[in-house]
Structure 1
């Protein structure tokens, strides 16, 4: 893997397993998931630039409504971000997501405003979040973690784990995401 690839190329590599040209990336933007990631990354890149920042923020807002993704430019997201399916995803702008993370449809990653877990989640590298999972509060999720579909998670999770259920149970698994996270960058 060459270090000179852009973050958008790294995100699109996760989907195809190939390094794409700008034109090839544009062609792939017919896919709503990839299109949204492209616009999100442009919005993040120009977030602090007055004119381009406003332009990309307006474009992002349009596609948030159109596609049902509520992910903001302020959200810190590592390279190799992958939205698995088109459908409602809501991520608080204060959330931190590591590299090579997969987020499926129906996922909410939310802030908790009170209690011992007050704050927003921080996800490590190579975290796979299944459909309709809810992650809430000032918790830390380690690297190489699977969060199973329909799981409610509001506690810290060590690296190399599988999290399942509501209330959630945490299992230690050495290569938890081995067959879940493809085309790592």
Structure 2
């Protein structure tokens, strides 16, 4: 799937189908709010146009998708059950990352001050929180309702509050699909 633009890779990750511009994909994009948000997010990042910024604002208020345009998100973003997802400015997210309902990724202004850097092939479960100047490795599964404010090595599963890290090869095996 190399050589596609970021929205096409997001589309592929969320639908499992190759993006083909046309009426069918236009209708699907506007009926599915996760695809619609991804489209306007990528267009704004590409062109920094006021129209795309206003559309992002409208969709953010409507669905609670507060993903900062100042965040850096790699190709293949997957928004699963996309309501109330928060990604703050300064956050860096790699490719093939799944963000699920209620997850929060952001900076802290005390203690471990700064924003997270998240690797490739990461699954962030429902209501999980990832905060602080931390690094999340590649192939990491963050379980639902986990609170992560520590560094997490590659090939790990993170569970609980406080976070407990378990080493596991192919941690995101059946969770992160349709890789780009």
Shorter-chain TM range is over 0.9
Unaligned runs of 5+ residues in structure 1 are 48-52
Which of 169, 172, 177 is the equivalent residue of 2:164? Answer: 169
Give how far 1:131 is off: 0.2
| Contact 2:14/2:79 (<8 A) preserved | no
Distance in 1, matches of 2:99 and 2:140, equals: 12
Unaligned runs of 5+ residues in structure 2 are none
Which of 121, 136, 147 is the equivalent residue of 1:126? Answer: 121
Which of 68, 71, 93 is the equivalent residue of 1:72? Answer: 68
TM-score by length of structure 1 reads: 0.93
Give how far 1:27 is off: 2.5
Give 3-state SS (helix, strand or coil) of 2:81's partner: coil
Count of residues in correspondence between the two structures: 178
Query: Corresponding residue for 1:82?
Result: 78
Query: Corresponding residue for 2:26?
Result: 26
Q: How does 1:45-60 map to 2 (within 5 A)?
A: 45-47=46-48, 53-60=49-56
Query: Corresponding residue for 1:36?
Result: 37
Distance in 2, matches of 1:38 and 1:8, equals: 6
**Could you list the per-position Cα deviations for residues 62-88 of structure 1 after superposition, in whole angstroms to 9, with x for gaps in the alignment?**
111011100122110000000001310
What do you get for the CA RMSD once the two structures are aligned? 1.0
Distance in 2, matches of 1:2 and 1:99, equals: 12
Distance in 2, matches of 1:143 and 1:27, equals: 34
TM-score by length of structure 2 reads: 0.95
| Contact 2:88/2:106 (<8 A) preserved | yes
Runs of 4+ off more than 4 Å:
none
Give 3-state SS (helix, strand or coil) of 1:45's partner: helix
Distance in 2, matches of 1:64 and 1:81, equals: 16
